[in-house]
Structure 1
């Protein structure tokens, strides 16, 4: 068996808060019908490759996305992993752009998207996400695993394991990374091939 473990990282489908541009974080907001359709579309992108099983965040928007994908591919969701829940945004959760959210921003945040009073530190999010992926790779060497999680968790985890900037992760878009003894490689980001193409499994 190959020692390369391959991950399809999928952000959950759309929720009403996504559509309204409200910060979700740990708030357990369910998928809307658009999100369920996006999960079905993700099945089509994943079906060209062989996958062994699915894991997900326990938050309902990720769990339902994972269940829909697993059903569509004839796979099993084997675990809900608490380490890959979304970033805790604290008092910013539920807010959209405006004075109330601006009042929570930390001074000196160059991105304007990450720094909020009372939010979980980005470094903490990155570490727990990267650690969860590495644990899966070590537990299942050579496996091909679909991981359904959240946009910020995926983005920050990728930045940690790849040591490069990563932009916004779209709802239900396919990102593929692989881990072997040499480290991590990126094959597909947000549905677009990276420099190394992912070849369909025979």
Structure 2
């Protein structure tokens, strides 16, 4: 079993550097093109199903990918919704960081909560699709911090429209195989 995480394509708020979190902001044209580019990375992966966050930017990205791979779009999972930025939603990131260093405060969802949701989503998807290869379209923060937790080291960024892949090793542990469409530097030695 492997899981392919795709960060949704760009939105206007991404372009402006705004925290969009759980706000339901649609893709822009660049984001739609990024989704089409993700198909090229995913097309040889042997995917059985594509699921996503229920937010429209993730669902539209997932639909573009499903169409590009000639597959039906699977269900959405609420656990995959992006970090809730609460009072910071819509703020430019630098402004939010000035007000709440490390984005702690203002009702912003703690990162350990984001990771917990990400891990629960992975286990739910693995239970729903045992032994299947599942492409998951969701959001940058939940992908970055959940995969950092699984990898045991901090990932710096997850680009819009990029693919990250994790697979289970012989012991059943998740192992990072691809990040931002590339093999992670930690694995190249």
Give your verdict on TM over 0.5.
yes
* TM-score, normalisation: structure 1: 0.86
1:105 aligns with 2:96: no
**Which position in structure 1 is the counterpart of 2:89?**
93
1:178 and 1:84, CA in 2 relative to 1: closer, same or farther beyond 3 A?
A: same
Distance in 1, Cα, partners of 2:128 & 2:33: 32
- Structure 1, 180-189 or 34-43: larger mean CA deviation: 180-189
The Cα shift of 1:157 comes to: 1.0
1:9 aligns with 2:8: no
1:149 and 1:98, CA in 2 relative to 1: closer, same or farther beyond 3 A?
A: closer
Deviation string for 1:159-190 (max 9, x for gaps)?
22222211110001010001354311011011
Q: Which has the larger radius of gyration?
A: 1
Matched residue count = 185
* TM-score, normalisation: structure 2: 0.92
**Which position in structure 2 is the counterpart of 1:69?**
65
Distance in 2, Cα, partners of 1:49 & 1:162: 21
**Which position in structure 1 is the counterpart of 2:168?**
179
Distance in 1, Cα, partners of 2:58 & 2:26: 9
**Which position in structure 1 is the counterpart of 2:78?**
82
SS at match of 2:75: strand
SS at match of 2:74: strand
**Which structure 2 segments of 5+ residues have no match?**
none
Deviation string for 1:104-156 (max 9, x for gaps)?
314xx4xxxx4342101100010011111122223322211100000001011
**Which structure 1 segments of 5+ residues have no match?**
197-202
Q: Which runs of 4+ in 1 moved over 6 A?
A: none
Report if aligned partners of 2:150, 2:176 keep a CA contact under 8 Å in 1: no
Distance in 2, Cα, partners of 1:97 & 1:156: 17
1:185 and 1:76, CA in 2 relative to 1: closer, same or farther beyond 3 A?
A: same
Higher helix share: 2
